């Protein structure tokens, strides 16, 4: 079953078609990858899905609801969360505080009870901290809970951003180049981590990534973009064998190595 459907999606910037009549689906419970060179329009697609940009035309359906052009805050409430190419943490706050923020935004607590610290507010705060620690633990960050986010090594900051996105309790998690800046060992461990959090949090994942080892090992389905348009889509093995993809992105030597 398709959780996300993108139909004939386009976005024009001053006469340039950053995304041009793109259609694809993300099936419930699976990992769908989007690949292509810089400038192919991958992040623009994420920005359209999450409401950062409004489409020039086309339609976005999520969980059987038309979400085309909705504001980002409403998109989050429908069950879509994301990370960014450039890490956007609250760098002066602790890891725990970073993950607590989206959790508390989901909790119902009146301003009055929060100000006077009534029992309901204390209970919500306690439950939120327990949930935040559970998310941090799933990402291998429980020992860093009280550490200031900006002092973490780059790889752990990437993990913390994913943790914060998960804390929004999404059905669909969008990961924009999660392995960017990671060394080969960190990238390899990220494959296992993504598989684990998909199962643990019952997530459907849409992934942009340039590391082809990660894409081929983690994705159930791959969408290949070129100049804003769909070039090919299929299973990893089909992408490996497709001549257009080989020629445009992977290169024949990479194809031989994968085969």
CATH code of 8's domain: 3.40.50.300
Residues 183 and 158 placed together within one structural domain of the fold: no
Domain-located, residue 110: yes
Residues 178 and 245 placed together within one structural domain of the fold: yes
Residues 233 and 206 placed together within one structural domain of the fold: yes
Residues 181 and 71 placed together within one structural domain of the fold: yes
Domain-located, residue 112: yes
Rg (C-alpha) for the chain, rounded Å, is 19
Domain-located, residue 84: no
Residues 108 and 236 placed together within one structural domain of the fold: no
Return the pLDDT at 225: 95
In whole angstroms, give the CA distance from residue 237 to residue 8: 26
Residues 180 and 223 placed together within one structural domain of the fold: yes
Domain-located, residue 58: yes
Task: Strand 65-66: give its sheet, edge to edge.
Answer: 16-27, 2-13, 57-62, 65-66
Return the pLDDT at 108: 61
Q: Examine the fold and report which residue of 134, 163, 192 is the final residue of a domain before the chain moves on.
A: 163
Domain-located, residue 18: yes
Which domain covers residue 102, as residue numbers? Answer: 89-163
In whole angstroms, give the CA distance from residue 78 to residue 65: 9
Return the pLDDT at 249: 66
Residues 156 and 175 placed together within one structural domain of the fold: no
Return the pLDDT at 254: 45
Residues 103 and 208 placed together within one structural domain of the fold: no
- Phi and psi at residue 230, to the nearest 5°: -75, 125
Residues 181 and 60 placed together within one structural domain of the fold: yes
Q: Examine the fold and report which residue of 163, 192, 213 is the final residue of a domain before the chain moves on.
A: 163
Residues 175 and 254 placed together within one structural domain of the fold: yes
Q: Examine the fold and report which residue of 129, 163, 197 is the final residue of a domain before the chain moves on.
A: 163
Return the pLDDT at 206: 98
Residues 179 and 54 placed together within one structural domain of the fold: yes
pTM of the entire predicted model: 0.88
Q: Provide the β-strand partners of residue 232.
A: 224
Return the pLDDT at 119: 63
Q: Could you tell me the maximum CA-CA distance found in the chain, to the nearest angstrom?
A: 66
Return the pLDDT at 257: 43
Residues 253 and 181 placed together within one structural domain of the fold: yes
Domain-located, residue 206: yes
Question: Which SS3 state, helix, strand or coil, does residue 62 take?
Answer: strand
Residue with tokens 């064998």: 241
Domain-located, residue 41: yes
Digitized pLDDT (tens) for each residue of the chain, 259 residues in all:
899 999 999 999 988 999 999 999 999 999 999 999 888 999 999 999 999 999 999 999 999 999 999 999 999 999 999 999 889 999 999 999 999 999 988 776 544 455 555 666 677 888 899 999 999 999 999 999 999 999 999 989 999 999 999 999 999 999 999 998 888 888 888 899 999 999 999 999 999 998 888 999 999 999 999 999 999 999 999 998 898 888 876 554 444 444 3
Structure-block tokens of residue 13: 């910037």
The domain total for the chain is 2
- Phi and psi at residue 15, to the nearest 5°: 90, -5
Return the pLDDT at 117: 58
């Amino acid at each position: 079953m398709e959780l996300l459907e993108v139909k004939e999606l386009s976005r024009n910037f001053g006469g340039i078609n950053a995304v041009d009549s793109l259609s694809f689906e993300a099936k419930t419970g699976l990992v769908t990858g989007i690949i292509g060179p810089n400038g192919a329009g991958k992040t623009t697609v994420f920005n359209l899905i999450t409401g950062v940009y409004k489409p020039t035309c086309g339609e976005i359906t999520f969980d059987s609801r038309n979400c085309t052009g909705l504001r980002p805050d409403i998109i989050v409430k429908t069950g879509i969360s994301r990370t960014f190419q450039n890490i956007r943490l609250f760098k002066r706050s602790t890891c725990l505080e970073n993950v607590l923020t989206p959790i508390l935004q989901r909790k119902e607590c009146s301003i009055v009870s929060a100000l006077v610290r009534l029992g309901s507010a204390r209970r919500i705060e306690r439950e939120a901290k327990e949930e935040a620690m559970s998310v941090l633990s799933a990402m291998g960050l429980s020992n860093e809970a009280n550490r200031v986010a900006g002092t973490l090594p780059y790889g752990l900051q990437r993990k913390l951003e994913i943790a914060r996105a998960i804390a929004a309790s999404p059905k669909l998690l969008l990961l924009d180049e999660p392995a960017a800046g990671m060394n080969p060992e960190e990238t390899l461990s990220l494959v296992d981590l993504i598989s684990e959090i998909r199962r643990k949090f019952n997530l459907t994942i849409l992934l942009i990534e340039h590391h082809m080892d990660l894409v081929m090992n983690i994705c159930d389905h791959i969408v290949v973009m070129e100049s804003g348009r769909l070039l090919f889509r299929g299973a990893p093995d089909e992408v490996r064998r497709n001549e257009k993809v080989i020629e445009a992105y992977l290169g024949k030597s990479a194809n031989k190595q994968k085969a």
